[in-house]
Amino acid sequence: MTLSVICPCFNEEAYIRGLLEFFISAKPVEKELILVDGGSRDKTKSIIREYQQNHRNIHLLDNPEKIVPYALNKAIPLCKADKIVRLDAHTKYAPDYFEKIIETFENVEADIVGGPTRTACKAPFQCAVAYAICTPFGVGNSQVHNVTYEGYSDSVTFGSWKKEIFTEVGMFDERLVRNQDDEFHYRAKSKGKKIYQNPAIKLWYYPRSHLKGLFKQYYQYGLFKPMVLKKVDSEIKLRHLIPSCFLLYFISLPLAAISPLWLIPLALYLLLDVFFSLRAKGGLKVKLAALLVYPALHVSYGAGFLRGLFRK
């Protein structure tokens, strides 16, 4: 067995068939896929079972806890290969995705490898999100969003791991609904493990397509990030703190009644919002949506982060 592939899934009938077709057609031939379903209520499981009839290397597990770290921890001990790849159902992969992962492991001294986050979209709002989360104004200087960066990094998108790393570093933290991959990668790095980002490993992530889903997602990212940083404080970056500082400033805006100078940071923020939004490709609807996406990213993450600071 060359590779073991893991994919947590939940209500993925719109995406699961494409993922299965990619897995079957991609090289190498000798690989296995372990899908871990969190209680799908649509046709996800029936589609998987349909493919299982002709492909004995596709396996299906149930995840009654529903969240991703439980799914990963359930599948990892069952993996037969010494290299483990995590897939996400909402993502499109290059035909040579697995081959580039194997090639990177062979050519680079690394325990974890992966590619940067490329984005794909269908509707204007989703395209605005896809654009915003790959800009420095949206998410800061994170290397994982730099599609040209190659080298050692703090984390990679989803990730591929040498199986032995889980014996040495431990498993995924099952308290983390979000950020479990960042926490694991930070923890591995703190123990001397090497993480390598190779832009030749290509995937395209489909972000949230509506404001409510985006707000919930980034609120949860912010909510669990303090727990991650408390565990591995060496990975605290300025970009983790800025959204909560912005939110606190926004709450304090009534102070502008005392001094109009208090409005200067807000004016600068709005100028940056307009500047980056107008640079979005895809037409006027995408640019207008981006004007809303940026504050949504920052406010939701900042609110979650502030609450997360005081969670036990």
Q: What is the CATH number of the domain that holds 14?
A: 3.90.550.10
Q: Which of 40, 55, 89 is the last residue of a domain?
A: 89
Query: What is the share, in percent, of the chain residues with pLDDT greater than 90?
Result: 64
Of residues 226 and 109, the one with the higher pLDDT is 109
- Give the pLDDT mean for 24-53: 94
Domain residues for the domain of 50 are 1-89
Q: What is the pLDDT of residue 170?
A: 93
Is 135 part of any domain?
no
Give me the number of domains the chain comprises: 2
Q: What is the pLDDT of residue 158?
A: 87
Is 240 part of any domain?
yes
Q: Are 184 and 99 in contact (CB under 8 A)?
A: no
Q: What is the pLDDT of residue 120?
A: 87
Mean pLDDT, rounded, of the chain: 91
Q: What is the pLDDT of residue 235?
A: 64
pTM of the model: 0.84
Is 64 part of any domain?
yes
Encoding tokens for residue 186? 């930070």
Q: Which of 89, 121, 156 is the last residue of a domain?
A: 89
Is 305 part of any domain?
yes
Is 217 part of any domain?
no
Residue type, 214: L
pLDDT tens-digit readout, 230-255 = 777 666 777 778 899 889 988 898 88
Chain CA centroid to CA 230, Å:
20
User: Could you tell me how many helices (H) and strands (E) the chain has, helices first?
Assistant: 12, 11
Encoding tokens for residue 305? 């982060």
Of residues 309 and 98, the one with the higher pLDDT is 98
Q: What is the pLDDT of residue 234?
A: 62
- Give the pLDDT mean for 150-156: 90
Q: Which of 65, 89, 113 is the last residue of a domain?
A: 89
Supply the DSSP string of 177-223, one letter for each residue.
SS-HHHHHHHHHHHTT--EEE-TTS-EEE---SSHHHHHHHHHHHHH
pLDDT tens-digit readout, 168-207 = 999 998 888 888 888 899 899 989 999 999 999 999 988 8
The HSE-up count of residue 72 (CA atoms within 13 Å, CB side) is 26
